[in-house]
Each structure stands twice: as C-alpha cells, then as structure tokens.
Amino acid sequence: MGLSNPILRGVHPDPSICRVGDAYYLATSSFAMHPGIPIHRSRDLSTWELIGHVLTGDSWIPLEGFDSSDGVWAPTIRHHDGVFYVVFTLAHGRTGASTYVCTATDPAGPWTRDAITGAEGIDPSLFFDDDGTCWFSAARDAVDPGAYGPGEIWVQQFDLATSALVGPRRAVWHGALARTWVEAPHIYKANGEYHLIAAEGGTEYNHSITAARAPHPLGPYTTDPRSPLLTHRHLGRDSPIQNVGHGDVVWSPEGTPWGVALGVRPVDGHHTLGRETFLVPMSWDGDGPVFAPGEGAIVMDADDDVDPIEPAWVALRGPVDARVDAGEIILGASPLTLAQTGTPSFLGVRQTMRTSTFEATVDPPTVEGQRLGIFAFQNEKYHVGVVAMGRDGDTVVQIIAVSAGTETVLDEGTLAGSVRMRITTAPTTYLFEATGGGGERVSASIPHTALSTETGGGFVGVLIGPWHGGTTGDDPAVFSDVSYRSGTDDANA
C-alpha cells in the first residue's frame, strides 16, 4: 500500500484510530471548533472521508470564554461489542478541566455524552481486555515530581454501564525520558503482554513516542529501552516533518500493525497548517512495537496538487446562524470580533495546503456599523483579513491585521459596487486583496511567520473564511461566488 502523507491535512492533531471489519475510523482534536471531534473513515488507511462529528447537537459542550487552543483535547476512539467509544478532555487555561465519554452505535452519529467524575489530567484512553474489562488511562501531574519528574500515567478500571471509574487507581509509569512530561497513553495487548505507548518531550520540536510493557494493565511497567521509538528531533531543523509524536496503533484484518502520529510541516522554521495526521508503517516483534522499520522516520510522499478531502466548515465555540449552499454563504449578524472569546459570526475551513486561494463577493454594507470580511485566523491575537464597511455613503475596504492583540490597518480604499475579496496563500506569504466594480483595488501582503503557530502560540493552525460583525441587526450577510481552491504543498513554490 502506498503512503499518502499527511493523511489528514491542516489542523487534525492527536490522532486516535480503531478498526471495525474492513473500515478504519480516525478521531482528532478540535479545540474550540464547532462541531467537535471530526470522525474520518477509510478502507485503505490512505484515502479518508469525513463522516460526522462526535460533538454536535445535543452532545455539544458550550465553549464561550475558551481560548481557541483550549476546549476539546486528545480524543481516543475505540470499539467494543457493537458500540463506539470516544473519551476526551475538556481543557481550560491549558489545563484539563473535565473528562467525558461519548458513545454511538453509528460513528457518523448521533453520540451521547457522559461526564467521567474524578478523572484527573488529560489525554484519556480506553483499553478493552480479552475478558471485556475496560481500563482507563490518562496523564496527570506526578504525585512526587521531585522523585520522578513532572508527569505520570495512571490506570483504573472503567465501568461501561455507569461511566464510572472503579477499583484502585494506580500511577503506573513516569515515562522513559528523565524529567520530561509524559502524556498521550494508549494500552494494547500483544504476545500475552500489555504494551503502553505514550508521548514525551512536549508537542513541539522534541516530541517523541516512547513505550513500556507489563504483565497486567495495572503494571508493573518496564520501560522499553529502545525509547524513543519514533521522533524527528534528531533529523535537524531542515527535516520536512517536525514535532512527531502522540501516536496510536491499529491492526489490519491481516494482522499488520499501522501507526498514526501527529507532525507539522514547517517552512523556514514556521508552520501555519497546524499539527497534521501522518500514517506510519509498523512491525511488532518480540520486544514490542517498531515504528517505521527500516526508515526510523515518517516518509512523506510527493507533493499533491489538491487535498483529497473536501474542506469542512467550522465555527468558533458554538453554532452560528449560517446557511451554506453551493458557492454561497449566508451569515447572521453578531457584534463580536475574532479577538473575542465568544461565538463570532464566522465560518472557516482549515488551511490544508501551503498554496491556496479563498475568494468571496459581498455587496456594499447597508446597515450602520455592519462589517463584512474574510479572514485568515490563527487565534484571537493573530489574524488578518479584508473588511468592507459603510462610511458616509461609500464602501470603505480595509486590510486589517491583528498581531499580539494590536489591530493595524495595512491598506484602505473606497471601492464601488460589489467587492470581490481574496486571500492567496503561498509557502512564505499571505496576500489579501479586494477589488471593486470599477477596478479599484486594495491589497497587502504579510509573511507567513505572522500567522504561524511559532509566532502566535497555541496548538492550532490557520482557518480561512467569512466573517459578519459590528451589528446585532436582523439582516444577514450574503457571501456569493465563494470558493476555496488548494494548490501545491511545494515549500519552494
């Protein structure tokens, strides 16, 4: 089977995978995006389709007041006895605040949601033993950090009928690497032993996958001396894939193991697409898992000229008043800007390719204070867009950049008639343009570093899409002739 890496482009981090029959299912983190926890399906591990979301409708959790990198972290998807299970952490202030389990008989939904009382930390996971016993694992601050380091993995039995943790809770492992935080635990059973893989070194340049094994889910665990089993930190800053870690393992119907892991694809040390999902060939010998045998690293195939997955529209922190038809988006009104932590009237697609174009046309704003635009959004403090507004009977268009929370107008002009807005992305630049009916034009270009995660911080990538702000009126905004076209991922384009 040929690889098509990354298998999920754009911000799709913390991948978890399971198989039912001949179909594979992937769940990834969604942070403050609505709907939450996308579920993708594949029959060949290479070509994926979005089939639904875990958190939408009755299962949704309101996220007003959450930073765009908080919210829904690190889901794990598993299947047992006809039921799909997804467990995840709800984080606030970069700290695990609560833990939930969602269940469904159809992974496309609907899903039910229950809180798991007393679950500490982040990155929960479930493991179903041969006798049907379910074991819950997660990462938390170490009880004795002075002796072991800052973090530890704990395990406890999970009662499926009551969604409750039962029996003794045990800290089972403090990681393979001295004095580093250990997270993202998953337990598997192979060759009569229990294997625990985890992530260490942080989710940035020193990220890695490590492992341990034990005779029982509660331990005692012995560190795999080959750890780290997968990392790219030794490949240098010029490696096309960086920050590799947070893995999960699935077995094909033929019994072949495959891994998924997150990684980023920086250009000149900065990435804007977010942490993406990659597929990793594996083997499993008497010593345990081997990631990327014979290579020791994730292999990226030749650059594609199109993202094979149809882009999905997302909002921030909750549903918005919107209707999306072919080539047209109608957005209700909201006074909120993208700098606020409520639910602005914004719909975005994940930027999935380094080179792409997003375009839309708006008619002149007619309501006092109304502002219509398209934005490239990294987070509340870093976003840039094209905005049209009414002023003294004219349509004024500005290129607005918000950097470190400070707003700057990069260009401004008066345009006649309908306004065609465009954001063009390239490996090292973003170009923002607007053209009026008479050919009038405003434009500004910024370096990609201005919207990178390295500059803006957090865990997400760029979203691109329309915004309707500045008013609470009843008149919706119409964005017509909307298109998002991906180009190439060639870093030298």
**CATH assignment at residue 375:** 2.60.120.200
Q: Do 151 and 43 share a structural domain?
A: yes
pTM of the entire predicted model = 0.96
Report the catalytic residues: 14, 183
Last residue of a domain, one of 256, 291, 326: 291
Residue 460 lies in a domain: yes
Q: Do 427 and 282 share a structural domain?
A: no
Residue 493 lies in a domain: no
Q: Is the separation of the CB atoms in 377 and 348 below 8 Å?
A: yes
Q: Which pLDDT tens digit goes with each residue over 131-171? A: 999 999 999 999 988 888 899 999 999 999 999 999 999 99
Q: Do 198 and 56 share a structural domain?
A: yes
The predicted structure's pLDDT at residue 475: 84
Residue 189 lies in a domain: yes
The predicted structure's pLDDT at residue 493: 64
With 70 as the cut, is the pLDDT of residue 206 above it? Answer: yes
Q: How far is CA 18 from CA 85, 99, 183, 337, in A?
A: 10, 20, 19, 39
Whole-angstrom distance, CA of residue 448 vs CA of residue 313: 22
Q: Do 213 and 343 share a structural domain?
A: no
Q: Do 272 and 331 share a structural domain?
A: no
Q: Do 388 and 269 share a structural domain?
A: no
Q: What is the rounded average pLDDT of the residues 81-106?
A: 97
Q: Do 320 and 287 share a structural domain?
A: no
With 80 as the cut, is the pLDDT of residue 302 above it? Answer: no
Whole-angstrom distance, CA of residue 316 vs CA of residue 63: 8
Residue 300 lies in a domain: no
Q: Do 347 and 267 share a structural domain?
A: no
Q: Which pLDDT tens digit goes with each residue over 264-293? A: 999 999 999 999 999 999 999 999 999 999
Percent of the chain with pLDDT over 70: 98
The predicted structure's pLDDT at residue 169: 98
Q: Which residue has the higher pLDDT, 300 or 273?
A: 273
Q: Which pLDDT tens digit goes with each residue over 327-358? A: 999 999 999 999 999 999 999 999 999 999 99
Residue 7 lies in a domain: no
* Band of residue 300 on the pLDDT scale cut at 50, 70, 90: confident
Residue 299 lies in a domain: no
Q: Do 454 and 337 share a structural domain?
A: yes
Last residue of a domain, one of 291, 306, 332: 291
What CATH number did the domain enclosing 280 receive? 2.115.10.20
Q: Which residue has the higher pLDDT, 205 or 305?
A: 205
Whole-angstrom distance, CA of residue 199 vs CA of residue 207: 7
Whole-angstrom distance, CA of residue 225 vs CA of residue 248: 19
Of 47, 48, 45, 42, nearest in space to 257 by CA = 45
Quote the mean pLDDT of the chain: 95
Alpha helices in 118-224 (DSSP H): 145-148
Q: Do 423 and 284 share a structural domain?
A: no
Q: Do 103 and 241 share a structural domain?
A: yes
Q: Which residue has the higher pLDDT, 1 or 298?
A: 298
- Please give the tally of structural domains in the chain: 2
Residue 29 lies in a domain: yes
Q: Do 195 and 328 share a structural domain?
A: no
Last residue of a domain, one of 291, 325, 354: 291
The predicted structure's pLDDT at residue 1: 47
Q: What is the rounded average pLDDT of the residues 211-223?
A: 98
Two tokens, residue 339: 């700098």
Q: Which pLDDT tens digit goes with each residue over 443-456? A: 999 999 999 999 99
**Structural domain span for residue 164:** 16-291
Q: How far is CA 97 from CA 52, 53, 63, 128, 458, in A?
A: 25, 21, 12, 25, 17
Residue 3 lies in a domain: no
